[in-house]
Structure 1
Amino acid sequence: MKYVRALTFAALAGVTIITATGCSVARDQQTLGSYVDDTGITTAVKTRFAEDKSVAATSISVETLNGTVQLSGFAKSQAEKDRAEAIARNTKGVREVRNSIVVRP
């Protein structure tokens, strides 16, 4: 009985690890390590947006894949759009920024 419990736990842990890492790796998108890095980059960019009063952090979405940051959403001016891009570019770990923010008066 004791061994059945240990084997069940080991099998469950193995399935969890494979499921957590297997999906993204199978799609050739990224490894678990780069996923963690990308999450950190996204969080850092969003935090810097929230700290900067010239950028409406709630109106701009940030997504990161393999160090490439995708900005989308709406800005009130071209200056706000440019500032958001500059913030993202100057964040540690960012390799490239794709700015799809739409300026809306």
Structure 2
Amino acid sequence: MNQISKYLSSVLLAVTLVTAVGCSSTSKQEGTGEYVDDTVITSKVKAAVFNEPMLKSAEINVETFKGVVQLSGFVSSQAAANKATEVARGVGGVKSVKNDMRIK
């Protein structure tokens, strides 16, 4: 019985390690938890940008990867682009903001 217990423990440990490694994130791919966190951050940034009166007419796209928010699209002025960046930085969970917006 003791040998069987050791064997089953070894198999269980191996399966656990393979599963844990398979679900972890890589530099190019997110794990499930990170994807959900990024989705929440994206939603919060979009809401914050939408609720900012200076940015109402802006066409800003928001994407998030591992807490890094990328803003793209069009704004009416450099001041609006700066404001959008400032608003995004103020959202919880945002590690940094990349500003790829264009002035139209």
Identity of aligned residues (%): 39
Contact 2:30 2:66 in 1 (8 A): yes
Q: Where does structure 1 differ by over 2 angstroms across 4 or more consecutive aligned residues?
A: 25-28
8 Å CA contact 1:56, 1:75 repeated in 2: no
Coordinate RMSD, CA, aligned:
2.4
Secondary structure at the counterpart of residue 93 of structure 1: coil
Aligned length: 84
Gaps spanning 5+ residues in structure 2: where?
A: 1-21
* TM-score, structure 1 as length reference: 0.71
Alignment of 1:24-63 (within 5 A): 28-56=28-56, 59-63=59-63
State the structure with more CA Rg.
Answer: 2
- Structure 1 unpaired stretches of 5+: 1-20
| Native 8 Å contact 1:67 1:96 kept in 2 | yes
Note the C-alpha offset of 1:29.
Answer: 1.3
Q: Deviations over 1:68-102 (max 9, x none)?
A: 00000000000100000001111100001100000
Contact 1:46 1:57 in 2 (8 A): no
